[in-house]
A and B are shown apart, each in its own frame.
Chain A
């Protein structure tokens, strides 16, 4: 099982001081957090993609390329890559390039994006969001698998005799997770291709996540990729820890109360009860995270949101120390102990390269 962090990349004033980092400070903080993730033994760093203030990561592969050059093991990913408003040709090129530079330590999570104006800014219509996700991904999927693509669709200029370069490393396209909080169409899309399905998990009650994952697993089996238990599931999580849980609550409350998305809404206590947010001791985080498998089954990737709402870099790095030293080692052991035989690990470039002949024949048969 893989453990990692995902960053939204928001520039939010620290509510305890009123000071917001500059964009430069925030970008440098994000990459410092990524390096720390590798240092403390985490497996994955994923960055969001946004095209409006107060967010800084508009160019994910630039950032991930920088991190790739300074890390050795960390898998570089996104949370999410906008499949609706990015040109699928550019996604194919950018991530294949990154894959070569990072020696295969790359996957990505596609998402639609929910910021209304981003669609028209990039020449699209939010009401076509699902159709854009369907058509653009269908093209991306082919660009990475067919050397010469002739293509015509509803949303993009036609392609005649087009070859996306560079070709994927070792002929193995980056693994794709399809991320969606509430659209069953996207879980269905992930299942159809046999790709991964990631549920953000952190803003909604567990029962909703359970049903989305159940849909994905059921349909994954329907399309013949394996049993429902073999489907590739990722989940988000959100934690704030101190050794003494009361200290964690006291320190995190002002950040929670003023956070983007849910700030000025439910109380910390209500939100902790109704969503996977856990504020407390490392042991509480371990117990809560293990409980995710009660509703999502045995899954492959757990990403935590650690660096948002104006938390200072120093605090985030302390959180990563706790995560890497006290939480993740126990979670690795416990998840492995509980996991039945036959549930696969998260796909990596190495595992997909090794399985490549099987993949090729499987695709020919679809």
Chain B
């Protein structure tokens, strides 16, 4: 199982990274995982370039691919101006909109005082709901004072336990994560969705929002595409030629 940890701390050393590492270790104790850490700070310039040029540089592309192939995520951001940091948000802005669909995510944040702890539920949870991830019930917030007080290890353990349980349930012998929601009715989610190159070790990932088709999609060039005649037939009056 692959766990990707996205840490958006800016200082070195960073209490955001410290919390991220504690969470990853706690998950690994419950269900063994291969951990890959994405330090968003190192990608800051490539993220800005992606926003202006429309394509990712090599390091950002690798990080986005890792996130897309992860079985679960731990995401940790510092609180800036009453929310997640702009850089943290920008990383998820350039991620493919379907990359996290159905994947378990543990949300966590760090801040100077406990006054911002609701950032977990008022900012992070809606963001990952939008990305159609499965956010575990317990989020972990660590204020500076928490590093010298009781309670943080218990919250880390509880959240990690929840993520580990979802990861364990998604092991190959248990099928992939959440049950397949079935085909999407026509007219929903009209945005084109089949752009993401598929990770080679998995079968085709069902793309929510892709048009309904009679037969299986075909694969070529690393893309998956609905055969044209099916797409044409799905439109009223659009009879295939011949």
Chain A interface residues (CB < 8 Å from chain B): 125, 127-131, 134-135, 138, 141-142, 151-154, 158, 182-185, 187-189, 191-192, 203-205, 208, 210-216, 218-219, 222, 261-266, 270-271, 274-275, 363-366
Whole-angstrom distance between the alpha carbons of A359 and B36 in the complex?
A: 55
Known contacts A138-B238, A184-B221, A185-B226; A131/B55 CB under 8 A: no
Interface membership of B192, Cβ < 8 A: yes
Q: State whether A265 and B49 are in contact (beta carbons under 8 Å apart), knowing that A127-B191, A215-B221, A215-B225 are contacts in the complex.
A: yes
Q: How far is the CA of A15 from the CA of B139 in the complex (A)?
A: 50
Q: How far is the CA of A365 from the CA of B242 in the complex (A)?
A: 7
Chain A residues with CB under 8 A of B228: 134, 188-189, 191-192
- Give Cα distance in the complex from A185 to B209, angstroms: 14
CA A204 – CA B236 in complex, angstroms?
Answer: 35
0/1 interface trace, chain B 99-132, chain A, CB 8 Å (1 if under): 0000000000000000000000000000000000
Q: How far is the CA of A261 from the CA of B191 in the complex (A)?
A: 22
Instruction: Decide if B237 touches A128 in the complex (CB within 8 Å).
Output: no
CB proximity of A217 to chain B, nearest CB, Å = 8
- Closest A residue, CB atoms, query B51: A265
| Distance (whole angstroms) from the CB of B98 to the closest CB of chain A | 14
Chain B 182-208 interface residues, beta-carbon cutoff 8 Å to A: 190-192, 194-195, 197
B238 partner, pick from A134, A158, A366, beta carbons under 8 A: A134
- B49 partner residues in chain A, CB cutoff 8 A: 265-266, 270
Interface check B218, CB cutoff 8 A? yes
The 3 closest A-B pairs by CB, nearest first: A265-B52, A215-B221, A214-B221
The one of A131, A192, A204 that contacts B235, using a Cβ cutoff of 8 Å:
A131
Task: Verify if B137 is at the interface (C-beta below 8 Å from A).
Answer: no
Q: How far is the CA of A152 from the CA of B237 in the complex (A)?
A: 5
Measured in the bound complex, the distance between the Cα atoms of B224 and A222 in whole Å is 15
**Bound Cα distance A134, B230 (Å):** 11
A11–B12 CA distance with the chains assembled, in angstroms: 46
Task: Point out the residues of chain B lying under 8 angstroms from A129, CB to CB.
Answer: 192
11 chain-A/chain-B pairs, Cβ below 8 angstroms: A127-B190, A131-B190, A131-B235, A134-B231, A151-B237, A153-B237, A188-B225, A214-B220, A218-B220, A222-B218, A274-B55
B57 at the interface (CB under 8 A from A): yes
Q: Do the beta carbons of B225 and A153 come within 8 Å of each other?
A: no
- Give the total number of A-B pairs whose CB atoms are below 8 A apart: 120
Instruction: Determine the chain A residues whose CB is within 8 A of the CB of B52 once the complex forms.
Output: 262-266
Any A CB within 8 A of the CB of B222:
yes
User: A192 to B232, alpha carbons, bound, how many Å?
Assistant: 11
Contacting residues, chain A, for B195 (C-beta < 8 A): 182-184
Instruction: State A128–B223 Cα separation when bound (angstroms).
Output: 21
CA distance A189 to B230 in the complex (A): 11
Is the pair B221, A212 in contact by a Cβ cutoff of 8 Å? yes
Find the B residue at minimum CB distance from A156. Answer: B237
Partner of B221, one of A204, A211, A365: A211
Q: How far, in Å, is A325 (CB) from chain B's closest CB?
A: 32
One digit per residue, 1 when the CB lies within 8 angstroms of any chain A CB and 0 when it does not, for chain B 30-65 equals: 000000000000000000110111110100000000
The proximity string for B residues 120-160 relative to A, scoring 1 for CB distances below 8 Å and 0 otherwise, is 00000000000000000000000000000000000000000
- Min Cβ gap B18→A in Å is 33
Q: Which residue of B lies closest to A183 (CB)?
A: B192
Q: B65 to nearest A CB, angstroms? A: 12
Q: How far is the CA of A82 from the CA of B241 in the complex (A)?
A: 22
Residues in A with CB closer than 8 Å to B223 are 184, 187, 211-212, 215
Q: Is B178 engaged at the interface, CB distance under 8 Å to the other chain?
A: no
Are B225 and A204 touching (Cβ within 8 A)?
no
| B229 lies within 8 A of A192 (CB) | yes
A151 to B239, CA, bound (A): 10
Which residue on chain B has the smallest CB distance to residue A153? B237
> In the complex, what's the smallest C-beta–C-beta distance from B239 to chain A, in angstroms?
8
Complex interface: chain B residues within 8 A of A212 (CB):
221, 223
Chain B residues with Cβ below 8 Å from A262 are: 52-54
Shortest distance between the CB of B228 and any CB in chain A (Å)? 4
B227 at interface by CB-CB < 8 Å: yes
On whether the beta carbons of B190 and A188 are closer than 8 Å, the reply is no
B191 partner residues in chain A, CB cutoff 8 A: 127
A224 to B93, CA, bound (A): 41
Q: Nearest-CB distance from A52 to chain B (Å)? A: 19
Q: Report the separation of the CA atoms of residues A224 and B231 in the bound assembly, to the nearest whole angstrom.
A: 19
Which residues of A have CB within 8 Å of B54? Answer: 203-204, 261-262
- Known contacts A262-B53, A270-B57; is-contact A154 B192 (Cβ 8 Å): no
Alpha-carbon distance between A153 and B237 when the two chains are bound, in angstroms: 5
Question: Which of B221, B222, B225 contacts A185, CB < 8 Å?
Answer: B225
In the complex the two chains form, is A363's CB within 8 Å of B242's CB? yes
Most buried by A among B194, B197, B235: B235
A134 vs B236: C-alpha distance in the bound complex, in angstroms?
12
A150's nearest neighbour on chain B, judged by CB, is B237
Across-interface contacts of B53 in A (CB, < 8 A): 203, 261-262, 265-266, 271
The answer to whether residues A134 and B235 also contact, given A127-B190, A203-B53, A266-B49 and a CB cut-off of 8 A, is: yes
**In the complex, chain B residues whose CB is within 8 Å of the CB of A263:** 52
